[in-house]
Amino acid sequence: MDLLRQSWQYILDNPDRFADAVSVHLRLSAFSLAAAIVIFFPLGVLAARSPKTAPTILGVVAAARVVPSLAVLFLLLPWLGLGVRPAFVALTLLAGPPIVINTDAGLRGVDPAALESGRGLGMTPAQLFWRVQVPLALPIIVAGVRSAAVEVIGSATLAAFIGAGGLGQFITSGLTLLDNRLLLVGAAPVALLALLVEGSLNVVERRVTPPGLALSRGA
Amino acid sequence: MNLDYLFRHPERVLDLTGEHLILSALAMFFAVLLAIPLGAAAARWRRLTLPILGLLGAIYTVPSLAFLAFMIPTLGIGRTPALIALAAYAQIFLVRNLVAGLRGVDAATLEAARGQGMTGWQVFRDVRWPLALPVAIAGVRTAFVSTIGLASVAAWINAGGLGTLLFEGITRDDPSRILTGAVAITALALLADALLRLAERNTAIARARRAA
């Protein structure tokens, strides 16, 4: 408890440094996640729609998932050097697999009867996709984004090792300088942040679940 | 970027691979010991299911570096805190699958077993457990692959293993070490995945299902 108070005092004494680290951490995570959604959602759609490319896409994604986050962050060193840029690229790649896998699974899992009814109503393929398939698949897609977000926040902490700053910076300095206060100045906020994001995306997931779907799942 | 380091120091890479495997396997061993009672309790008492799975999910959500950092003030650095962290992270995969496996057994099957005069323990040992085993092993597989990856971070607190090569590569600006470490960890994870897939397919129930 005493240590926690000391860490809090450190934050009060160095408000700019702390705010800067939080801001870097948040921006790095948010931009990476946004980039990953833009790139990997279409890939998931492609996998769900084309039986020919699906095994390749899902196979590559499954294999990529096995490479540890720390290795992905470090492997870009020869090309992108150290700093925020390689961290952004690595985090975007790390966020990919859950988005692709869940988008594919969500879209594939849509009841064919729902699609049939849509077609029967005279919907165009685009309407069918955006008004029937995506809404029905959305809870599972959001669950994928949730896993991706948690992965990104955690790996953004590791990005301190490649000089990207963020809250991980306090943790790594804490060990190097043998300063337990610093360890907690980094660890406590980043743990809270991860739990907060996970919790709020859980709520989003429940909110976007269509009422009919929630009923049939609850039963 | 190349694998020079692997060819110049194969014996060191092998040593670190051994360390990595032992650390991960030991963590899995303790993790399974803890997960069996947790999973059994969560499957048996519905009121415990959500709190247990929620707590384990929350633990998994905490970034690995933060988790290790939390332990340093009390447990210091080295193998012990690394083992604790790895075993804690594995719980969600192990317990979730154990619960799914134990709960997933068809009620009619259990009824039939009871109808044959089996005792509660016999029903568990001879019916429920064998039927749940493939799902439980699938949990061990996911957990083990994840543990092997996470164990690379443990090198930061001097727990050894292949993560050592990753950190050396960064501090000495030696990409060859990074690639060697990354390839070795990935290979180890793929190997563990393949072996446990084999175990999954060789459970009594999986063989019986294929024969049927």
| Residue-wise DSSP of B57-115 | HHHHHS-HHHHHHHHHHHH-SSHHHHHHHHHHHHHHHHHHHHHHHHHTS-HHHHHHHHH
A35-74 confidence digits (pLDDT tens): 999 999 999 999 999 989 999 999 999 888 899 999 999 9
B44-56 confidence digits (pLDDT tens): 999 999 999 999 9
* Nearest chain A residue to B73, by CA: A180
- Name the average pLDDT for chain A: 92
Q: Do A77 and B178 touch (CB under 8 A)?
A: yes
Residue B157 and residue B164: Cα distance in Å, rounded?
10
Residue B3 and residue B15: Cα distance in Å, rounded?
17
Residue B36 and residue B91: Cα distance in Å, rounded?
10
To the nearest whole angstrom, how far is the Cα of B92 from the nearest Cα of chain A?
Answer: 14
In a domain, A123, yes or no: yes
Residue A79 burial (CB < 10 Å; 0-12/13-18/19+)? exposed
Question: Would you state the structure tokens that stand for residue B61, as one six-digit string?
Answer: 């959500």
B145 reaches A (C-beta below 8 A): yes
In a domain, A95, yes or no: yes
- Residue A216 scores a pLDDT above 60: no
Q: Do B69 and A71 touch (CB under 8 A)?
A: no
Domain that holds residue A191: 2-210
Mutate which of B4, B23, B61 to test chain A, going by most A C-beta atoms within 10 A?
A: B61
SS (HEC) of chain A: CHHHHHHHHHHHHCHHHHHHHHHHHHHHHHHHHHHHHHHHHHHHHHHHHCCCCHHHHHHHHHHHHHCCHHHHHHHCHHHHCCCHHHHHHHHHHHHHHHHHHHHHHHHHCCCHHHHHHHHHCCCCHHHHHHHHHHHHHHHHHHHHHHHHHHHHHHHHHHHHHHCCCCCHHHHHHHHHCCCHHHHHHHHHHHHHHHHHHHHHHHHHHHHCCCHHHHHHHHC
To the nearest whole angstrom, how far is the Cα of A124 from the nearest Cα of chain B?
Answer: 40
In a domain, A117, yes or no: yes
In a domain, A198, yes or no: yes
Alpha helices (H) along B104-174 = 107-115, 120-122, 129-150, 163-171
In a domain, A193, yes or no: yes
pLDDT level of residue A217 (50, 70, 90 thresholds): low
User: Of A139, A160, A150, which is closest to residue A203 (Cα–Cα)?
Assistant: A139
A154 reaches B (C-beta below 8 A): yes
Which residues does B26 contact at the CB level (< 8 Å), separation at least 6? B83
User: Of A175, A198, A195, which is closest to residue A185 (Cα–Cα)?
Assistant: A175
User: Of B200, B211, B58, B187, which is closest to residue A150 (Cα–Cα)?
Assistant: B58
Contacts with A171 from chain B: Cβ below 8 Å: 65-66, 69
Q: Do A194 and B63 touch (CB under 8 A)?
A: yes
- Between residues 29 and 58 of chain B, which touch chain A (CB distance below 8 Å)? 57-58
- Name the average pLDDT for chain B: 94
Question: Would you state the structure tokens that stand for residue B42, as one six-digit string?
Answer: 């969560």
pLDDT of residue A63: 87
- Between residues 195 and 214 of chain A, which touch chain B (CB distance below 8 Å)? 195, 198
Q: What is the ipTM of this complex?
A: 0.89
pLDDT of residue B208: 84
B66 reaches A (C-beta below 8 A): yes
Q: Do B175 and A69 touch (CB under 8 A)?
A: no
Kindly state which CATH superfamily the domain B4-211 is placed in. Answer: MetI-like (1.10.3720.10)
* Nearest chain A residue to B186, by CA: A67
B157 reaches A (C-beta below 8 A): yes
- Residue B78 scores a pLDDT above 80: yes
Q: HSE, CB side, 13 Å, CA atoms: give it for residue B114.
A: 8
**Domain at A188, CATH number:** 1.10.3720.10
Q: HSE, CB side, 13 Å, CA atoms: give it for residue B12.
A: 13
Measure CB to CB from residue B178 to each of A74, A160, A188 and give the nearest one: A74
- Residue A218 scores a pLDDT above 50: no
Count of domains observed in chain A: 1
